Homo-oligomer: A and B are copies of this chain.
Amino acid sequence: MKTLWMTGLSGAGKTTIATGLKKTYPKIVILDGDDIRTGLSSDLGFSIEDRNENLRRLIEVCKLLNKNDIPVIASFISPFDEMRVRAKKEIPLCKIIYVKTSLEECENRDVKGLYKKVRNGEIENFTGITSPFEEPTNADLILDTETTSINECVTKTYKAFFENKDWSI
């Protein structure tokens, strides 16, 4: 019964940290925004209604997995505070991790080449540039990937949650 909900800009390092945790705890399932958008939520767009429905489905999948004793790392930009508040409220054991990386740094990394596309006008409604990212008000852990290495982020997450017996895997 446990979900780690990771929020942060595209390129902040969410999936990299999640993958690092999964290496140590292979039982963890990573739910990733791209995966869900091309699969379970492929029928949805980005209107407010569709974003809400996408979030509802994500929460249900987390609950379903947790109910089956499968821990989840939900790695989603989830730019609005309302989303994170709802996730934490509706998933019985849920912690919010804010992967805090500045827009400038994310754009410098531009691992997927998305920021370049946004600047070229090829992508509309991109979080952090043409669409807002609200900083979380309910983060249980903040990871600053500009001052902390990925390995350290993984260790910090481990110490914050997995040494707690309710969360032990």
* Residues of A participating in the B interface, judged by any CB pair closer than 8 Å: 29-31, 35, 39-40, 42-43, 53, 56-57, 60-61, 63-65, 68, 70
Contacts and interface: CB of A to CB of B under 8 A. Distances in A.
A152 B68 CA distance: 25
Contacts of A65: 29
Copies of this chain, how many? 2
A57 B40 contact: yes
A63 B60 CA distance: 16
B35 A64 contact: yes
Nearest to A39: B60
20 contacts: A29-B65, A29-B68, A29-B70, A30-B68, A31-B64, A35-B64, A39-B60, A39-B63, A39-B64, A40-B57, A40-B60, A40-B61, A40-B64, A42-B60, A43-B53, A43-B56, A57-B57, A61-B61, A61-B64, A70-B70
